[in-house]
Amino acid sequence: MSDQVDIPVSHALHGDGVAVITIDRPRRRNALNLDVKQRLVDAVQALNADAAVRVIILTGAGGYFVAGTDIDEMASMTPTSHTLGATDLVFTTLRQSSKPIIAAVEGYALGGGCELALACDLIVAAEGARFGQPEIKVGIMPGAGGTQRLLRTIGKYQALRMMLTGEPIGAKEAFACGLVSELCPDGAALERAAALARTIAAMPPLAVRAIREVVLLGQDAPLDTALLLERKAFQLLFDSADQKEGMHAFLEKRAPQYQGK
């Protein structure tokens, strides 16, 4: 069945250094197929290359984030077709983005949709949103970070409950588990994500990058190694013009003007 949608993924710069990527497949509740995945990769890469962009928001149209991966397309796939099609590339691209990505989640974030959100840096969820990894119900398992990202985010016991039962959890429970950064009223996820994005975009870009790099690299490293990474990154920022500007602005009681240098 055709989606009858010309552009299932679009992206636009909204000013103040914030860009928004929108998934729009209304008849499939924004389910991921190979075309959507490649378009997402292209959008993230384009925005990473755009000097005017400092923070990216990923969201879905029509009251849904992503209801899962397109089963119609996936049912006939083989191990070889997964490998040749690089079906996990979009998740790797999100995780390796040079700029922060905020997921703005309304409605369903299931299967690949939950993994897509987990690949982002922050998750803003509407109170009515639902997160889940229901792959087991169709004879498979999470394959784009679900088992490992959930484990590291909410712990073994909650992660296994979600994956072995396939049952979703509501946004409030997800927030209590540490899966969601912030809750907001239904219909307000994009607006709240944009406010967070503007706040981050106004921060010194080198410090933003350093914090993300140390957190992402350090989360799976031994504590002593992670602390060393943190200390080195901290010290290197004292060579930046933004460090000088930020501290002088603080002492002079004025707004800083960061240049990312």
Question: What are the residue ranges of helices labelled H in 100-167?
Answer: 112-118, 146-154, 156-165
DSSP state letters, 83-139: HHHTTTHHHHHHHT-SS-EEEEE-SEEETHHHHHHHTSSEEEEETT-EEE-GGGGGT
Place of tokens 């679009």: 10
Q: For residue 245, what are the contacts with CB-CB under 8 A and spacing of at least 6?
A: 204, 256, 257, 258, 259
Alpha helices by DSSP H, listed for 57-155, are 71-74, 79-85, 89-95, 112-118, 146-154
Residue with tokens 């005017």: 52
Which amino acid does the sequence have at 129? A
Contact 25, 71 (CB under 8 A): no
Give catalytic residue positions. 115, 135
* Rounded Cα gap, residues 210 and 216, in angstroms: 10
